[in-house]
Structure 1
C-alpha cells in the first residue's frame, strides 16, 4: 500500500474507533483500537526506508511496545509496563540522534517542573484513594516519559518533539481522569492526542536520520 494513502486511512480508522465503535463487546472494541496503531506501524516502516538504521529500529520497537500497551492497558500495570518499555526504546533511539543546543538543554527545566508538580498531585490522589501500591509504578512512568520528551527535544526534530509532547498530554489526561477527577470527554481527548503522538513519531522516521538537519530548530 502506498505510504501516502496510509495517513488518510489512519485518520479514518482513528475517528471510527474513537467516535463510532461501541464499547461492548470488549474484544470488538479492542480490535478496532489496535487497527490505527497497526497502520501507524506500517507507516513507520515505510517512512524509515529500505535500509533502516539503529535509530529506525529502536523507534520501531517503541511503536511495537506501545501497541502492546494499547492491547493490555485494561490490565493497568501490564499495559503501563509495556508503555514503559516502549518509552525506553524511544529514549534510546532519540539519544542516538543527539543534537546539542543550550536552548534545547534548558527545555529540561519546564519538563522537570511539570513532572514534579503533576507527580505530586498524583501521589496525593493515590494516597487519598488508598492505592499506595501504584505510587512507585506511576512515578517511574512519569520519570521515563519526561526523559523521553526531553530526549525528543534534543534531536532537534520537530515531528519527534511534537509527538512526545502530545504523548505527555494524552497520558496526563488519562492519569488525571483516572486518579484525580473526571475530565469531560476524556476518552476522546486521550485517544486523539495519543494517535496523533504516535503518528508524528512515526513520521519523524523519514527525517530524523538522513535529513534531520532540515528540521533542526
Structure 2
C-alpha cells in the first residue's frame, strides 16, 4: 500500500520551505565545526549529532501535508536520532543498529510496495552479498547475526527507495553508502576521511528523504 496521497496541497511556498530548512543547515554547520571533540561530555556530543535530524522532524511538521507518509518519515527520523545518540557510546552500538533498523523499516513502510520491481531487489541483494561477504570475516562472532539482519533491512530500504525515484531514491542511496563506509571503517580497516564522508552523506540522505514528502505531493524537488 502506498502511504502517499497524490494531489494534497502543500502548506507552504518554496520560500517558506527554505526558511524551515535553515535550522537543519545551521545545525549541520554546528556539528561539523564542533566536530565532536573528545573533551566534550558525551551528552553534548549526542545532542549536537542528533540536532540536524530533529530539525527535519520539525521541518516536516511545519511544511509537509499531514498524512501517513509524513508521519512515517517523522518516525524514521526520530528513530535515527536515537541511533545517532546510541553510537556516541561504543557499548550501545547494538542499540544504535536496532534504532536505525527501525528507521529503515519505517522508510520501507512509507515507500510502499508499488511499483514492486523484484528484478531490482535481486541486483541489490547480489551487490549486498558481495559487500557483506568481504565485511563479515572482520566481525566478532557475536556481531555477525546483528550485522546480517541490519544489512537485509538496509537493502530493503534501498530497494523501496530506488523504486520511488527522485529525492527518495537519492536519499536511500546516500544512506546506504554512508552505512557502508561506517561499517567498513569500524570493522574492516580505517578509511581516509571516513567520519567526514559518513556524516556528510548521512545528513544529505536524511534531508533528501524528508524532502520526498514534498516532491511526491506536487513540489518539484528533482
* TM-score normalised to structure 2 length: 0.83
Q: Alignment partner of 1:68: what SS?
A: helix
Work out the number of aligned pairs and report it. Answer: 203
Residue 131 of structure 2, aligned match among 118, 130, 148: 118
Where does 1:29-108 land on structure 2 (aligned, <5 Å)?
Answer: 29-49=45-65, 52-73=66-87, 74=89, 75-95=92-112, 98-99=114-115, 105-108=118-121
In structure 2, distance between residues paired with 1:54 and 1:31: 28
State the superposition RMSD in angstroms. Answer: 2.2
Give 1:166 deviation, angstroms. Answer: 0.4
Where does 1:1-217 land on structure 2 (aligned, <5 Å)?
Answer: 2-21=16-35, 22-25=37-40, 26-49=42-65, 52-73=66-87, 74=89, 75-95=92-112, 98-99=114-115, 105-126=118-139, 131-155=140-164, 157-208=165-216, 210-211=217-218
Q: Could you report, residue by residue, the CA deviation over 1:43-99 in whole angstroms, capped at 9, with x for unpaired residues?
A: 2223422xx222222222111111111111231001100111111111111116x23
Whether the 8 Å CA contact 1:115–1:146 is kept in 2: the answer is yes
Q: Which runs of 5+ in 2 are unaligned?
A: 1-15
Q: Alignment partner of 2:39: what SS?
A: coil
Q: Which runs of 5+ in 1 are unaligned?
A: none
* TM-score normalised to structure 1 length: 0.85
